[in-house]
Amino acid sequence: MNRPSPQQSRYLVLWLAGFSLTAVLICWALYANWQNKRDGYLQQHSSIVATAYRASVDGYAVTTRFLVDEVLRKPQILNTFARGIDGDKRARGELFRLLAPTYDELVKHGIRQLHFHTPSGHSFLRFHALDKYDDPLFDVRPSLRITNTELRPVHGFESGRVISGFRYVHPLFDGQRHLGSVETSLTFRVIREAMMRIDPERDYLMVLHQDAIEGVVFSDNRGLYAPWKMNPDYFVEDPHLTLPDSPPPPRAEVRHLNRMMAENPAIHAQMATGATFTLTKEWEQQDWAITFLPVLDVSQQLSAYIVSYAMTPYLNTLRMEFIYTIGLILVAIAAVFTIAYLLWRSLALKAMEGDRFAAITNTIGEGIYVLDAGGKVTFINPAFTELLEFNDKEVVGRTGHELFHLHNRNGIDVPLDQCPIYTSVAKGLIFEGEEVFRTRSGQALDVAVVSRPILDKEGQPDGSSVTAFRDISARIQMEKDLHRKTADLQRTNTDLLRLGEVMAHHFQESTRRMATFARLLRDKPGVNADPDSRQAITFIDEQAGRLTRLVLRAQRYLELDETPPGETAAGDVRALIHLTINASVAADADLHLAPDLPCLPLPQNRLHRILKIIFDNSGHYRRSDTPLAIKVIAVNHPEQLELRIADNGSGIDPANRDKVLELFTNLTSGNNAGSGLALVRRIMRLAGGDLRLEDGIDGGIAVVLMFNR
C-alpha cells in the first residue's frame, strides 16, 4: 500500500480540521437552539403554576365575600358580636351556637377557620380552637392590623398562631360602629386541590420560610413544622399529618426528587431572591420539571414557596432531537426523514402544551358565558360578574340577549333573530367582532366578543354556544383621543404652512427690493469709484441672495407634509441618477454605478430631489487637488435596503455629522443656507426610512439612504 504524500497528508489534516471546526460550530448552534427551546418551555411551566395559584386564591376570595355579605353581616350576628365586644361573657357562646351549623358547612368545603377579632386585634372567638381567645394578634397578624386600622378587606397568605393559611379578613360594622373583624382561613390542602382541578397532572408542596414561623406560632404547635430537605431555611408544615386537614404526603416520586436535590446551591440562591423559577431533574428515565413559585404575605414579604412537580416528556423529546440531529448531520443526509419525524413530534407536543396553557389563561382572564339553543344563559364565570356586575342568580336561566346585549348606544332594540352573535352561532359559524353590552347598573360597555358553537359527538353544532368577551372601552377612548389629536395636529400643520407662505412672500419681496436698490446704487456715478461703497453694495446683494435661498429652503421643508409625493419610483434608478447628476454642479464627476441597483420604495419626484441635493453638495465641497469621484451602490439586509452614495470630497468631521443634519446648520463660512441634508432626512423619515453619514472615498463623505422593507 502506498503511503500518502506530504501534500495529501496536509490536505487530509486541513479537511479534518475544517470538518471538525464545522462540526463544532453546528453543534454549538444546535446546542444554543436547544437551550432556548428548553428555557421557553420551562417558562411556560412557571406561568401555568402561577396562573393556577392565582385563580385558586382569587376564587375563594369571591366565596368568602359572599359568606360575609350574606351570613355574617346579619343583624342577629352583629348584635351578638357587639354584646361580646361590650363585655357580655355569654355572647361568645351565643355567637358560636348561632354560627356552628354554618361553620360545619364551611369545614365540609375546605374552609377550616372562622375567627372573630376585636377592634384592638385580640382574638374573640376561634371556631377551630374555642379555648384560645383574648390573645393579642396585631404583632403577628399584619392582615388583622390592616383590616382594623384601615377598615378594608384583606386577603392573602399569612402565618398563624396555630397553623398557616390563606386568610380572608373583612371588617364588621354595626351601623357606623366598627365592631372588629372576621376571617376565614384555608389550609394549603384546599388551595392544592383547587390547583390540581385546574391542572391535574401536577403535584404540589408548600414550604414556609423560617421567619414566617419564628415568634408567630404558639410554642406548643412548633412541633408541627420540620425542616425541608431541599433548603433548611424553609419548613414543611405538619409532615406527619397530625392535623386532619393537612395535605396528603407527597408521592414517592416527589419524596425521591426532594432527596436527590437536597442542598442544591442553585435552589438556595434562587429562593433567597424570591424569584419564580423552574429546574429539571431526570429520574428513572423520566424528566421532571420542578417549579418554585414565591408566596408573598399580605405585607408583600416572602413567606413561603409553592413547589410544583410534573413529568415533562417534552424535555426528553427536545434532548433526543438535539442528539439525533447532531448525529444525523455528521453521519449521512439519508436520515432527513427521521429528523422531520422528530421535529414534527416535538412541535406537536409543544403545541399541546401551548393549547393547555392557553386554555387555562384565556378562560380566567376574560368574561365567559354559555347559552343553550334557546339563547338562555346556563353558565357564567367570575370575570363575567366583574365586568357586567350580574351574579349567576340574576343571569342563569334568562335570555342573555335581552338582559345584557345592548348592540348600540342609541337605544334601538335589536330582536334576538337579528342578533349577529346569535345568528352566526345558530348557523354553526364563529362570531368575532365588537359589540356593546349593558352592565347591571345600566351602563354601556364596549367589548370585543368571540362566540363559538358547541359541537355534539358527531361534530355538528347543537345550537348552544360559548362566548368570551373583554372590555375595550379604554382602547376605543384612546382611538377617539388619537383621532382628535391627529386632527388638531393637521390643523396646526396647515396654519404653519400658511404662516410660512406669508413669511416667505414678505421676506422675498424685501430681499428683491434690497437687490434692486443695490443695483440702482451700483449704477450711480461715483459709487463704483468708492471701494467701501462698492464693497457694501456687494455685501447687500450677496446677503439678499442668501436670504432668498434660506426662505426657499425653509418653504420647501414645510411643504413636504402637504406636497403630494407623486408616482412610485421607476425601476430604472440608474437612468434617474444619470439625469440628476447631469443637472447638478457635480456633472463633471467620475460616476461609478453598481450594475444591480434595485427599484427604491420612494416617489420619483422626491428621489430626484434627494439625489440633486447630495450631488450638489458633492460638487460644492470637492477638493481642489483631486478630480471629483462619486460611487453609488446598494446594500441588501434582511429588514432594510440601503443606497450608499460616496464621494472623495473634503468630507465631514465625525464630531459634526449629527450637526449637519439639523436645519440651517452650515459648518463653512459660505452663503449656503445649511438645510440640504436636513431636507433629505425629512424626506426619508416621511417615507418611513432614515439616513446616516459615514466615511466616503479617500476621506470624503458617504450618504447612506436607509429604506425599511
Cβ neighbours of residue 688 closer than 8 Å, sequence gap 6 or more: 707, 708
Cβ neighbours of residue 379 closer than 8 Å, sequence gap 6 or more: 368, 369, 370, 392, 396
Lowest-pLDDT range of 89-93, 125-129, 167-171, 553-557: 553-557
Find, among 498, 340, 360, the residue nearest to 45 by Cα: 360
**52 domain-assigned:** yes
Same domain, yes or no: 538 and 624:
no
Asked if 242 and 218 touch (Cβ cutoff 8 Å), the reply is: no
- Residue-wise pLDDT for 599-610, tens only, equals 888 888 888 989
**507 domain-assigned:** yes
Higher-confidence position of 687 and 151: 151
Confidence check: pLDDT of 562 > 60: no
Sort 355 into a burial class: Cβ within 10 Å, 0-12 / 13-18 / 19+: exposed
Same domain, yes or no: 530 and 571:
no
Confidence check: pLDDT of 628 > 90: yes
Residue 605 neighbours by CB distance under 10 Å:
13
Query: In this structure, what DSSP letter does residue 600 have?
Result: P
| Paired strand residues for 694 | 702
pLDDT band of 361, cuts 50, 70, 90:
very low
- Residue-wise pLDDT for 241-293, tens only, equals 777 777 887 788 888 888 888 878 888 889 889 899 998 888 888 888 899 99
Q: State the Cα–Cα distance between residues 464 and 664, nearest whole angstrom.
A: 69
Asked if 266 and 291 touch (Cβ cutoff 8 Å), the reply is: no
pLDDT band of 81, cuts 50, 70, 90:
very high
Confidence check: pLDDT of 558 > 60: no
Task: Please compute the mean of the pLDDT values over residues 615-644 and round it to a whole number.
Answer: 92
* pLDDT for position 567: 54
**9 domain-assigned:** no
Same domain, yes or no: 408 and 460:
yes
Find, among 437, 357, 424, 423, the residue nearest to 390 by Cα: 437
User: Which CATH number belongs to the domain containing residue 524 in this structure?
Assistant: 1.10.287
Element (H, E) at 677: helix 676-686
pLDDT band of 198, cuts 50, 70, 90:
confident
Counting residues of the chain whose pLDDT is more than 90, the rounded percentage is: 21
Confidence check: pLDDT of 631 > 60: yes
- Residue-wise pLDDT for 478-494, tens only, equals 888 888 887 777 776 66
Same domain, yes or no: 92 and 215:
yes
Q: What share of the chain is helix, strand, coil (3-state, %, to 5)?
A: 50, 25, 30
**698 domain-assigned:** yes
Number of folded domains in the chain?
4
> What is the reported pTM?
0.43
Lowest-pLDDT range of 561-575, 612-626, 690-704: 561-575
* pLDDT for position 702: 95
Q: How far is CA 456 from CA 126, 368, 462, in A?
A: 51, 20, 6
Same domain, yes or no: 447 and 314:
no
Residue 147 neighbours by CB distance under 10 Å:
27
**Which of 319, 335, 351 delimits the end of a domain?**
335
Task: Please compute the mean of the pLDDT values over residues 421-426 and round it to a whole number.
Answer: 85
Lowest-pLDDT range of 40-49, 218-227, 377-386: 218-227
Same domain, yes or no: 112 and 65:
yes
pLDDT band of 337, cuts 50, 70, 90:
very low
Confidence check: pLDDT of 674 > 60: no
Same domain, yes or no: 225 and 80:
yes
Chain CA centroid to CA 617, Å = 45
Task: Please compute the mean of the pLDDT values over residues 174-183 and round it to a whole number.
Answer: 92
Angle CA(213)–CA(217)–CA(219) in degrees, nearest 5? 115
**529 domain-assigned:** yes
Asked if 170 and 181 touch (Cβ cutoff 8 Å), the reply is: yes
pLDDT band of 335, cuts 50, 70, 90:
very low
**656 domain-assigned:** yes
* pLDDT for position 646: 96
Q: State the Cα–Cα distance between residues 296 and 304, nearest whole angstrom.
A: 7
HSE, side-chain direction, 13 A CA sphere, residue 477: 6
User: Which CATH number belongs to the domain containing residue 35 in this structure?
Assistant: 3.30.450.20
Confidence check: pLDDT of 340 > 70: no
**Which of 285, 319, 335 delimits the end of a domain?**
335
Q: What nine digits make up the cell of 504?
A: 416667505
* pLDDT for position 488: 75
Three-state DSSP at 475 gives helix
**Which of 335, 354, 374 delimits the end of a domain?**
335
pLDDT band of 549, cuts 50, 70, 90:
low
Same domain, yes or no: 621 and 552:
no
Using CA of residue 73, residue 78, residue 80, residue 84, what is the dihedral sign? positive
Same domain, yes or no: 220 and 176:
yes
* pLDDT for position 320: 80
Same domain, yes or no: 251 and 371:
no
Residue 443 belongs to what domain range? 365-471
* pLDDT for position 12: 66
* pLDDT for position 8: 57
Task: Please compute the mean of the pLDDT values over residues 647-671 and round it to a whole number.
Answer: 78
| Paired strand residues for 295 | 304
**341 domain-assigned:** no
Same domain, yes or no: 230 and 255:
yes
pLDDT band of 327, cuts 50, 70, 90:
confident
Confidence check: pLDDT of 345 > 70: no
Element (H, E) at 678: helix 676-686
Find, among 170, 141, 171, the residue nearest to 155 by Cα: 170
Confidence check: pLDDT of 42 > 80: yes
**387 domain-assigned:** yes
**Mean pLDDT rounded to a whole number for the chain:** 81
User: Which CATH number belongs to the domain containing residue 620 in this structure?
Assistant: 3.30.565.10
Same domain, yes or no: 491 and 625:
no
Counting residues of the chain whose pLDDT is more than 70, the rounded percentage is: 80
